[in-house]
């Protein structure tokens, strides 16, 4: 019955019918959240500090206290809105963040290195990719994408498809204080269907529909050839305006204010802001295209001197085709999560590699109007912004310490054989790696999808559990006081705690969204900021020194992103049946972190845990053999 009913989700999500299918994100009970909060932080802060925090939290949650007032309002908000946390979360997580989008916020997909025979071959790949994007978009527009169903923990329930409808319809406008994410839902068919192509830091409009008919692959290729020719023309070349979008959001907003004083710039911006997606034709970087290098090039384009300005970071989807075969996707994170980005990227990649080329015969190519170069008017003030943005991007480029590590010894299958959740196991291994690096655990973020609910995005699994701390201590204890069975018990406890937190998070019972909701309600009521949110513990617990997420793929490619704090690590992982890809990032400017060191100890830890499990299994088998032997008649007759 559930499946039958959920089929209507295939059709527009805006209908009340589909909203009836998925439940609303719940508001957890106040006491439950406060108790969990204390449990999450107790082992991460000093004892004195914890005592203070506990008193503050108890006061907040006391009968008739501030917490109750806010909780009541939050429940009212839940009744009135489709998703009570959506706007709060979007602003807090993305729109209010003033940091530059590349590295700090925008995740990327890195495709396998392509081998192009020549320039034309690369353009052929780009034309194919654009056709793939158009086919995928047609599925979205027809609301014909099959509904996703949850896998892994609590598998089988339908998931909200809303994020897919934002892939090609969103644009993030920079603001002086906060950004604005505009989504053109129900885009009328009259809206121009065009792609922006970036080539040699110039921007071109590629209309993909001419005379009501979409361009075929050959026509797209011919348009791309015209674009590259136009971009070659040094006399017409304009300054690298795209670099402005790589700047801090406030700085870009200021530059944009200066740009829009001129009508030419306004027209060009309007075309970029209404496009379907950006396709970046990148120049060869001249670097050895290893996994780590390709990840870096996707994350920041290699800076001003390479392809750093051949981007428009506000646009949700940017497909990168490097003439040297370095390809992938860069996305603005605010409209959707990595899982949706993967679905789209995989579709496009399968389209490119799966079906035979659909090159039309020369006779069937139409005479098409040439693509248009976007024009810009610059004054010295804007030139100043360009130079400053370029400097800041350069600093970011020099600062990013990235290490893509393929752990080949085992993958999900080995972990499942231990009767453990692969995701929880990897999270515990990441905790062990962090502990080996710095001798402590820190506030950790793991994204948990809440797409089981209407317009659900994510909440946080706080993976630095007390049980994880007990386990990593037993594994690193120099006096070797812990027996294998004690370590094994602690491993199982840590994995169970992690799995239980995961289940709570994906069912809407985690604490981060809830605490944010209470904080925002207090602000809306113009109340003085409750003490719980000014407390040192709360502030520290929101500095995610370890920021992790699972982004699995079924096609050869991987996702990565940068750290979210200056002294932190980003750790994105892609578990496969017999190997796991880890993308570890940190900043060189922070002397306390090193991606290479993290990867080294992660590898060590994964091997140590495997050995522990194997010794445990061997001991269990021996025990079983012995007890079986004991139950059998003694042949010797002794
Ligand atoms: N014994 C044996 N097998 C087990 C097991 C156990 N104790 N526990 C789990 N498994 C199996 C599952 O059945 C599943 O099998 P499948 O591969 O056949 O589907 C597999 O192991 C994976 O499950 P698990 O590792 O527990 O994790 P999960 O798939 O449920 O993932 C999250 C957990 C938190 C990653 C997931 O719920 C989620 O939220 N994903 C989205 C993350 C996200 O948003 N990322 C993008 C951020 S931009």
Mean pLDDT score of the chain, rounded to an integer? 93
Read off the pLDDT of residues 143-170 as tens digits, 9 standing for 90 and up.
999 999 999 999 999 999 999 999 999 9
Q: What is the pLDDT of residues 168-216, one digit of tens each?
A: 999 999 999 999 999 987 655 546 699 999 999 999 999 999 999 999 9
pLDDT tens-digit readout, 7-53? 223 233 333 334 448 999 999 999 999 999 999 999 999 999 999 99
Ligand 1 atom nearest 552 alpha carbon: 45
> Residue 11: what pLDDT?
30
List pLDDT tens digits, range 428-475: 999 999 999 999 999 999 999 999 999 999 999 999 999 999 999 999
Contact status, residue 283 vs residue 323, Cβ threshold 8 Å: yes
576 lines ligand 1 (CB under 6 A): no
- Span from the CA of 632 to the centroid of ligand 1 (angstroms): 42
629 pLDDT above the threshold of 80: no
Q: Which atom of ligand 1 is nearest to the CA of 426?
A: 25
Q: What is each CA distance from 389 to 242, 245, 298, 320, 400, in whole angstroms?
A: 10, 8, 18, 21, 17
* Residue 402 structure tokens: 């990235």
Our answer on whether the CB atom of 337 is closer than 6 Å to any ligand 1 atom is yes
pLDDT (average), residues 270-297: 97
d(CA 410, CA 400): 28
Give the pLDDT band of residue 616 (cuts 50, 70, 90): confident
Q: What is the pLDDT of residue 620?
A: 80
502 lines ligand 1 (CB under 6 A): yes
Catalytic residues: 333
Q: What pLDDT is recorded for position 367?
A: 87
Confidence band (pLDDT; 50, 70, 90) for 618? confident
pLDDT of residue 455: 97
The answer to whether residue 532 scores a pLDDT higher than 70 is yes
> What is the predicted pLDDT for the residue at 362?
63
| Count of Cβ atoms closer than 10 Å to residue 178 Cβ | 16
Pocket test for ligand 1, best of 422, 425, 447, 573 (most atoms within 8 A of CB): 422
Pairing type for strands 372-373 and 580-587 reads unpaired
Listed in sequence order, the residues at least 6 apart from 512 whose beta carbon sits closer than 8 Å to its beta carbon are 459, 460, 462
| pLDDT at residue 569, as a whole number | 98
- Helices assigned H by DSSP within 275-403: 291-300, 338-354, 380-399
Q: Is 506 buried (19+), middle (13-18) or exposed (0-12) by CB count in 10 A?
A: buried
> So what's the pLDDT on residue 14?
38
| CA dihedral of residues 257, 258, 259, 264 (deg, nearest 10) | 110
Residue 255, H or E segment: helix 249-259
- pLDDT tens per residue across span 373-431: 999 999 999 999 999 999 999 999 999 999 999 999 999 999 999 999 999 999 999 99
Q: Is the CB of 447 under 6 A from ligand 1?
A: yes
Only one residue has tokens 């790696």, namely: 433
Ligand 1 centroid vs 36 CA: distance in angstroms?
22
Tell me the C-alpha distance between 280 and 321, whole Å: 6
> What pLDDT band is residue 627 in, cutting at 50, 70 and 90?
confident
Q: Are strands 444-449 and 458-461 parallel, antiparallel or unpaired?
A: antiparallel
Ligand 1 contact, 361 CB (< 6 A): no
Q: How far is the CA of 69 from the centre of ligand 1 (A)?
A: 37
* pLDDT at position 226: 97
Output the pLDDT for position 635: 38
Q: Is the CB of 247 under 6 A from ligand 1?
A: no
Residue 585 — very low, low, confident or very high, per pLDDT cuts 50/70/90?
Answer: very high
Q: For residue 502, how far is its CA from the centre of ligand 1 (angstroms)?
A: 9
């Amino acid at each position: 019955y559930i499946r039958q009913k959920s089929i209507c989700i295939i059709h527009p999500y805006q209908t009340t019918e589909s909203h009836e299918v998925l439940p609303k994100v719940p508001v957890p009970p106040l006491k439950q959240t406060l108790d969990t909060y204390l449990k999450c932080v107790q082992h991460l802060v000093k004892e004195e500090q914890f005592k203070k925090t506990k008193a503050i939290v108890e006061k907040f949650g006391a009968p008739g206290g501030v917490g109750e007032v806010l909780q009541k309002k939050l429940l009212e908000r839940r009744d009135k809105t489709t998703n009570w946390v959506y706007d709060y979360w979007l602003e807090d997580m993305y729109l209010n963040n003033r940091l530059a989008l590349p590295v700090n916020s925008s995740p990327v997909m890195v495709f396998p290195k392509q081998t192009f025979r020549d320039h034309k071959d690369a353009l052929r790949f780009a034309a194919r990719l654009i056709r793939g994007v158009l086919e995928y978009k047609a599925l979205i527009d027809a609301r014909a994408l099959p509904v996703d169903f949850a896998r892994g923990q609590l598998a089988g329930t339908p998931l909200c498809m809303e994020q897919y409808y934002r892939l090609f319809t969103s644009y993030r406008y920079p603001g002086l204080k906060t950004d604005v994410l505009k989504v053109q839902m129900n885009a009328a068919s009259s809206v121009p269907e065009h792609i922006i192509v970036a080539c040699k830091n110039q921007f071109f409009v590629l209309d993909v529909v001419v005379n009501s008919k979409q361009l075929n692959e050959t026509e797209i290729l011919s348009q791309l050839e015209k674009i590259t020719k136009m971009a070659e023309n040094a006399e017409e070349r304009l300054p690298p305006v795209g670099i402005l979008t790589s700047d801090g959001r406030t700085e870009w907003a200021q530059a944009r204010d200066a740009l829009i004083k001129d009508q030419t710039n306004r027209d060009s911006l309007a075309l970029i802001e209404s496009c379907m997606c950006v396709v970046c034709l990148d120049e060869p970087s001249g670097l050895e295209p290893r996994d780590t290098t390709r990840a870096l090039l996707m994350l920041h384009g290699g800076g001003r001197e390479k392809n750093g300005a051949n981007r428009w970071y506000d646009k949700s989807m940017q497909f990168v085709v490097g003439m040297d075969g370095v390809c992938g996707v860069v996305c603005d994170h605010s409209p959707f999560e990595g899982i949706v980005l993967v679905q789209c990227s995989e579709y496009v990649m399968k389209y490119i590699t799966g079906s035979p080329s659909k090159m039309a015969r020369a006779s069937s190519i139409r005479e098409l109007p040439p693509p248009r170069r976007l024009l810009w008017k610059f004054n010295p003030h804007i030139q100043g912004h360009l130079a400053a943005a370029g400097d800041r991007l350069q600093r970011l480029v020099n600062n990013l310490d990235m290490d893509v590590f393929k752990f080949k010894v085992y993958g999900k299958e080995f972990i499942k054989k231990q009767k453990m959740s692969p995701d929880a196991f990897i999270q515990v291994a990441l905790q062990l790696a962090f502990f080996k690096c710095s001798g402590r655990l820190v506030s950790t973020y793991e994204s948990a999808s809440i797409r089981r609910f209407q317009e659900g995005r994510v909440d946080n699994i706080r993976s630095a559990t007390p049980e994880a701390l007990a386990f990593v201590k037993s594994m690193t204890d120099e006096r070797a006081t812990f027996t294998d069975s004690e370590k094994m018990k602690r491993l199982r406890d840590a994995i169970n705690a992690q799995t239980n937190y995961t289940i709570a998070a994906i069912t809407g019972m985690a604490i981060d969204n809830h605490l944010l909701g209470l904080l925002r309600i207090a602000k809306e009521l113009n109340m003085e900021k409750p003490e719980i949110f000014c407390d040192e513990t709360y502030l520290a617990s929101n500095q995610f020194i370890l920021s992790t997420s699972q982004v699995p793929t079924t096609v050869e490619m991987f996702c990565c992103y940068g750290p979210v704090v200056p002294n932190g690590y980003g750790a994105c992982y892609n578990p496969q049946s017999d190997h796991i890809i880890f993308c570890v990032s940190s900043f060189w400017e922070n002397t306390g972190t090193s991606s290479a060191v993290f990867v080294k100890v992660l590898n060590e830890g994964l091997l140590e845990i495997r050995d522990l499990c194997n010794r445990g299994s061997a001991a269990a088998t021996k025990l079983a053999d012995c007890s079986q032997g004991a139950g059998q008649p003694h042949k010797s007759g002794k």
